[in-house]
Structure 1
Amino acid sequence: MARWRQPFMPAIDTGHRETAAMFRLIALAVLVLAAGPAAANDSIAELKTGGLVLVRTDAISMDREDLFISLDEIQVAYRFRNTTDADVDTIVAFPMPEIQYNPYGDTALPDTANDNFLGFSATVEGVPVDIALEQKAYAAGLDVTDLLKRHGVPLFPFGDEAFEALKAQTPATLRDWESRGLVFNDRYDVGDGVKDHPTPAWTLRSTYWWRMTFPAGRSIMVEHRYKPSIGGTAGVSFFQDGRFSGETHADYRERYCLDEAFERAILRETRARGADYPPFYESRIAYVLKTGGNWAGGTIGTFRLTVDKGSTKNFVSFCADTVRKVGPTTFEATQTDFYPERDLEVLFLRPADY
């Protein structure tokens, strides 16, 4: 059984030559911003997203999964097969990441105005799917969905509509909701004196889902795509005091499989640009691979990962087996009988624009 592992030997591609060699790690060219260390408040947190979830069944196998990750879009194509002689009618779901509004920190949402904040869409055999959306709001672990709806408050906590709806509530209602953890009172001045601003504090859980039939003895293609949640840091957070060190260094080495060759490439680019500090900024994507294997056998017949770093000037690093370069900016890893044992984390370093 093939499994997702730590790489053995890393390989660096600076964009100056092609290679057909198989890599254990990919740590490839990307330039990025900042003339000094990044502070904590210079960071945006990424949301961990993933793929489709099936109701547990022994009747449907996943023969193939093709996962494409870039800074612009995540695309996933599945080839499912009904291994029985009877049609299977079941639910297919896409759990969106939980979100909670935080006025004191930034969360990377591709769209801060709509329920479909990732721009999720799906097709079955190339035909767009009519997708249903289920949303639940929670505060202090309790379901407050119906309570918010009764008071005309939209569940999406980032949109202007939610803030306007909270303003319309009575002071008694807001005091009650503050005591229950639904809202908190944010006091600030927008030019007309310090005032109270009721602010969403609930957590939103959203799931897109649909029913579909898997025909007896046949395979069927299901695809979906969405915008990634891209975390970032204004600078290279694992470089401090003139060397690769600091609180995040060991964590990044484990999470993204950074190694000496990757770090030497960053230093070469730093020196080439006459800088004292790596002139890059970080972009991060987190993807859930460990979905539970609710299909027959629990493994994926063939799993192909493609990562596009976006520019030949970019660096990218992530953990994968048997990675090869397949284009100027794209890298591919293929496994058979694949069972993921860890989620996928991708680190991009992009050039500073100065």
Structure 2
Amino acid sequence: MASMKSHAIATLLLLAATHAAPANDTTAELKTGGLVFVQTEAISMVEEKLYISPSEVRVDYRFRNTTDSDVEALVAFPVPDIEGGYAMVSFDPNAGDNFLGFETTQDGQPIVAELQQRATVSDVDLTAELEAENIPLMPGAEVTEVALAALSPEAAARFEGLGLVRVEQWDDGSGMKAHLVPLWTLKSVYWWKTVYPANSEVRVSHRYASSVGGTVDVTYLDENGEPRGERFADYEKRYCLDESMVRIAQKTRKAQIESGTQLYVENWISYILMTGNNWAGPIGSFTLTVDKGDPKNVVSFCGEGVTKTGPTTFEMTMTDFYPDRDLEILLLVPVNF
């Protein structure tokens, strides 16, 4: 089976954001996870049920305040960083701020979260510069492109000097023109306040769309079609590749050479688990369900005692679980011609 990373839901005293991971050929994945928080000895995670598929992430938690006093805390869901430039991403930048469709409830009641967004260059907050010129903060969105094009020459030069934009020349259909390409990084976090009652349990759930990265090939064999080299070693460690994954890659490589036919392409899903260690003690009961989405897909990820529970689902259960790595899922998706 294959490789495992996870971001536990968490009470936040120190906001942290994840970063977009680079893709090989086509799109980039965004490492997503649960809520983040700083180490606490007051709240334990009694149970976590994590479901992950190419279309959706669902996480259900039970937390317990083990003290005799109510604990009020700031809770946050950090959205993956959105990089400017020409990086390919696996979401629609025109879909609005909540592009992952993030929703959360506590004890069955919907939570209305605040959204904090910051535009940074080299970790310097330059949000005010963009807001002063009415520039939307989402890099790559059409409204952002239109707003940048309307900047005065003086403002455009200032933005270029600050590293917020780069000037590129290309033909947009009406001749060669200068275009401003956004270079800033958008950091976003949804947050709210909550209370963990003394000596009581709280149930928290959240749902959002998966971010799936991928390539147009199967990339973990060497130039001779053999399971060797740095990339294979990385995949073997990250996804716990087995012999069947090697054979499938070799089969698709042979088809490429003999007939120019592509049999499979790679997709990846990443999920940050390690913050599950920030609660008081281990995760009491942890259940992971990985759904490969289509019976024709092939999946690999690292885990202990993984069992197949359905045509597309695989399950792992752990007791008193301390995550020691994040969850990395490799999907081989057949190409249909």
Interval of TM-score (by shorter of Structure 1 and Structure 2): 0.7 to 0.9
**Cα pair 1:270 1:276 within 8 Å, conserved:** no
Structure 2: which amino acid aligns with 1:304? T
Supply the distance in 1 between the matched residues of 2:124 and 2:289 (Cα, whole angstroms): 40
CA contact (8 A) 1:52 1:94 kept: yes
8 Å Cα contact 2:252/2:264 also seen in 1: no
Q: Tell me, what secondary structure is at the counterpart of 2:146? A: helix
Pairwise mapping of residues 32-47 of structure 1 onto structure 2 (< 5 A)? 42-47=25-30
Which has the higher relative contact order, 1 or 2, with Cα contacts under 8 A spaced 6 or more apart? 1
Relative to structure 1, the CA distance from residue 59 to residue 174 in structure 2 (aligned partners, 3 Å threshold; closer, same or farther) is: same
- Counterpart residue number, 2:327: 344
Distance 1:142 1:268 in 2: 48
Number of the residue aligned with 1:261: 244
Distance in 2 between residues matched to 1:186 and 1:137, nearest whole Å: 21
Contact 2:276/2:323 (8 A) holds in 1: no
- Between the two proteins, the alignment pairs up a number of residues equal to 316
Q: Deviations over 1:233-289 (max 9, x none)?
A: 112112343444565222111111112233235556888999677610111011111
Aligned to 2:131: 149
Task: Please list every run of at least 4 consecutive aligned residues from structure 1 whose deviation after the TM superposition is greater than 4 angstroms.
Answer: 265-278
Percent of aligned positions that are identical: 48
Tell me which moved more, 176-185 or 46-55: 46-55
**Which of 182, 192, 207 is residue 210 of structure 1 equivalent to?**
192
Q: Cα RMSD over matched residues?
A: 2.3
**Where in structure 2 are the equivalents of 1:1-354 lying within 5 Å?**
25-26=1-2, 42-103=25-86, 105-109=87-91, 112-239=94-221, 240-245=223-228, 248-265=231-248, 267=250, 279-291=263-275, 293-297=277-281, 299-354=282-337
TM-score, with structure 1 as normaliser: 0.83
SS at match of 1:345: strand
Please tell me whether the aligned partners of residues 65 and 196 of structure 2 are also in contact (alpha carbons under 8 angstroms).
yes
| Paired residues of 2:277 and 2:323 also in contact (CA < 8 A) | no
Structure 2 counterpart SS, 1:107: coil
Amino acid in structure 2 at the alignment position of 1:249: F
Aligned with 1:68: secondary structure? Answer: strand
Q: Following TM superposition, by how much is the alpha carbon of 1:213 offset from its aligned partner in structure 2, in angstroms?
A: 1.1
The worse-fitting range, judged by mean Cα deviation, of 264-273 and 215-224 is 264-273
The 8 Å contact of residues 140 and 180 in structure 1, kept in 2 or not, is answered as no
- For structure 2, which runs of at least 5 residues remain unmatched after alignment? 4-22
Cα distance in 1, alignment partners of residues 255 and 158 from structure 2: 60
Q: CA deviation at 1:90?
A: 0.7
**SS of residue paired to 1:42:** coil
TM-score, normalising length from structure 2? 0.87
Flag structure 1 segments of 5+ consecutive residues without an equivalent.
1-24, 28-39
Matches of 1:67 and 1:342, distance apart in 2: 15
3-state DSSP of counterpart to 2:157 = helix
1:2-29 C-alpha deviation (Å, 9 max, x unpaired): xxxxxxxxxxxxxxxxxxxxxxx359xx
Q: State the Cα distance separating 1:88 from its structure 2 match.
A: 1.3
Aligned twin of 2:7: none
